[in-house]
Amino acid sequence: MFDFLLTKEQKTLRDEAREFVKSIPKKMILDMDADKIQFPKEFLQEAGKRNLMGCRYPEKWGGRGMDWVSTCMVMQEIGVLGYIFACTFGVGAELVCDAIILHGTDAQKEKYVKPLLKGEIFAAECLTEPRGGSDFFGTTTTAQDKGDHFLLNGEKRFIVGGEGADYFLVYARTDPDAEPRKGISCFLVDRTDGVKSQYLYGLMGCRGGGAARMVFSNVKVAKQNLLGRLNQGVDIFNTMMIPERLGTAAMTIGAAAPAVAVATGYTSKRKAFGLPVAAFQGVSFQVAEAVTLLDASRAMIYATARAVDEQIDEKQIRRLVSQSKKFVTESCQKAVHNAMQVMGGIGYTNIYPVERIFRDLRLASIWTGTNEVMSMIIANEWYKEHGHNKKTCAIRDMEEDAAEAHAADEKIFE
Ligand SMILES: Cc1cc2nc3c(=O)[nH]c(=O)nc-3n(C[C@H](O)[C@H](O)[C@H](O)COP(=O)(O)OP(=O)(O)OC[C@H]3O[C@@H](n4cnc5c(N)ncnc54)[C@H](O)[C@@H]3O)c2cc1C
């Protein structure tokens, strides 16, 4: 539907991504959902061989020198396989590597980005702690400076790729006395002595992505594995919020769309009262709503991707990516809800994939920052942009466009 926005080069990449999606055996999808596969290494290896990961990074580091619009398009295509495929694809290549590309040294890019994009090694991102995920700046994992290395101690949980990854992007407190935002640093931690992953969660959906609890006990981290500046992990955290939220939004659309397609086919054939159920507006209007929500979501992510590519004001980008994450994940969940509803009882069974998609997509509004946290950021940025000191509209003072606008005595605020 939005293919008209894509360049020739992007369409070629889209077709390559589709070929890849077609090549994945059904058995892998089912085995992951059944927890028979704990981490889909073969899937990532093949994506790497086809050079599909990290397309927006410079060719020098294994990307294709493309942009955020291209990334959103690829994430949508991969999402079609299932949400967890896009999660594992995204976490290593689009999140962890994004941080290294933007903040890392050339040596770090050589060692950690290049082989990951080729599908030779795997990575996970460790923000959330058992203590909590929303309050990121309350991080209690510590990394003590021991002269020639840092000593890392702490626990993280729900880490996609925790089981399977070769290295981890870990945030830890390096200055316990500094104010919360100023005392956290970011590290690239190899799976060495003291790094333990436990695959222990009975997940509702999104199984097979290696989601694990990570325990770091007296792990020696080499000084050169500090990513970015000491105590300035916040810089990395801030830039990572773009791939976290925009990437999540894009892949959610791809993961939801098959449910709507299946429901459209089913309701065209299924009869009740002698008619295809799609002939009843109670049914077709729910499909109409689902399709509208998917297209509105696509419009939103492509507009946001353009905003990131054009490097507009960073505060506006923060609001736009948060809005995209919230609006798109909730819209897609509603679209899948409608898809299941119009299929009746069969939609609730594993005769069709809609129930798996429904389970998987529930994660979308929880991970990479809950949607309540998104609302917090949106409200915060919006009020800063348009607070009480600013005019109600930049073009003209709209507040004055009322017959009794002069009635100052009625404008009571306290
Ligand atoms: C399957 C899965 C995969 C995940 N993958 C990763 C991963 O790879 N890496 C990683 O680091 N994390 C990962 N997460 C963690 C995820 O990002 C966190 O679960 C999420 O950020 C919420 O943190 P929490 O679970 O600690 O909830 P809490 O922070 O305890 O929040 C509980 C509730 O309180 C609400 N809340 C908290 N603070 C506020 C506030 N100020 N205003 C309004 N409401 C608020 C939250 O929205 C939520 O509804 C994953 C989670 C799951 C389930």
Residue span of the structural domain in which 201 resides: 126-233
pLDDT at 113: 98
Q: What is the pLDDT of residues 251-291, one digit of tens each?
A: 999 999 999 999 999 999 999 999 999 999 999 999 999 99
CB 129 within 8 A of CB 156: yes
Hey, what are 259's tokens?
Answer: 């449910």
Mean pLDDT of the chain: 96
Hey, what are 243's tokens?
Answer: 């791939």
Q: Does any domain span residue 398? A: no
**Which of 233, 261, 277 marks a domain boundary?**
233
CA-nearest residue for atom 45, ligand 1, is 372
> In 134-280, which ranges are continuous DSSP H helix?
233-269
Nearest to 327 by CA among 286, 255, 378, 261: 378
Residue 305: CA atoms inside 13 Å, Cβ hemisphere, count? 26
Calculate how far, in angstroms, residue 69's C-alpha sits from the geometric centre of ligand 1.
27
Q: Reduced to 3 DSSP states, what percent helix, strand and coil does the chain have, rounded to the nearest 5?
A: 55, 15, 30
CA-nearest residue for atom 3, ligand 1, is 158
Residues 270 and 300 in one domain: yes
**Which of 171, 206, 233 marks a domain boundary?**
233
Q: Has residue 9 got a pLDDT over 70?
A: yes
Q: Has residue 174 got a pLDDT over 70?
A: yes
Calculate how far, in angstroms, residue 366's C-alpha sits from the geometric centre of ligand 1.
6
What is the distance of C-alpha 196 from the center of its chain?
A: 25
The answer, yes or no, to whether any atom of ligand 1 lies below 6 A from the CB of 188, is no
Residues 355 and 243 in one domain: yes
Calculate how far, in angstroms, residue 372's C-alpha sits from the geometric centre of ligand 1.
10
Q: Which residues contact 304 (CB under 8 A, 6 or more apart)?
A: 246, 249, 317, 320, 321, 323, 324
Q: Does any domain span residue 396? A: no
Q: Does any domain span residue 17? A: yes
Residues 256 and 381 in one domain: yes
State the CATH number of the domain containing residue 261: 1.20.140.10
> Three-state secondary structure along 72-132?
HHHHHHHHCCCHHHHHHHHHHHHHHHHHHHHHCCHHHHHHHHHHHHCCCCCEEEECCECCE
Burial (CB count within 10 angstroms: exposed 0-12, middle 13-18, buried 19+), residue 256? buried
User: Which stretch of DSSP H or E encloses residue 32?
Assistant: helix 26-33
Residues 106 and 48 in one domain: yes
**Which of 98, 122, 146 marks a domain boundary?**
122
Number of domains present in the structure of the chain: 3
Q: Has residue 380 got a pLDDT over 70?
A: yes
pLDDT at 389: 57
* Nearest atom within ligand 1 for CA of residue 126: 11
Burial 139-176 (b: 16+ CB within 10 A, else e): bebbbeeeeebbbbbbbbbbbbbbbbbbbbbbbbbbee
Q: What is the mean pLDDT of the segment spanning 296-312?
A: 98
The answer, yes or no, to whether any atom of ligand 1 lies below 6 A from the CB of 374, is no
Q: What is the pLDDT of residues 187-240, one digit of tens each?
A: 999 999 999 999 889 999 999 999 999 999 999 999 999 999 999 999 999 999
The answer, yes or no, to whether any atom of ligand 1 lies below 6 A from the CB of 131, is no
Calculate how far, in angstroms, residue 371's C-alpha sits from the geometric centre of ligand 1.
9
Q: Has residue 364 got a pLDDT over 90?
A: yes
User: Which stretch of DSSP H or E encloses residue 222?
Assistant: strand 212-222
Hey, what are 320's tokens?
Answer: 């736009």
Calculate how far, in angstroms, residue 347's C-alpha sits from the geometric centre of ligand 1.
29
Q: Does any domain span residue 186? A: yes
Q: Does any domain span residue 185? A: yes
The answer, yes or no, to whether any atom of ligand 1 lies below 6 A from the CB of 100, is no
Q: What is the pLDDT of residues 117-158, one digit of tens each?
A: 999 999 999 999 999 999 999 999 999 999 999 999 999 999
Burial 61-80 (b: 16+ CB within 10 A, else e): bbbbebbbbbbbbbbbbbbb
Burial (CB count within 10 angstroms: exposed 0-12, middle 13-18, buried 19+), residue 45? middle
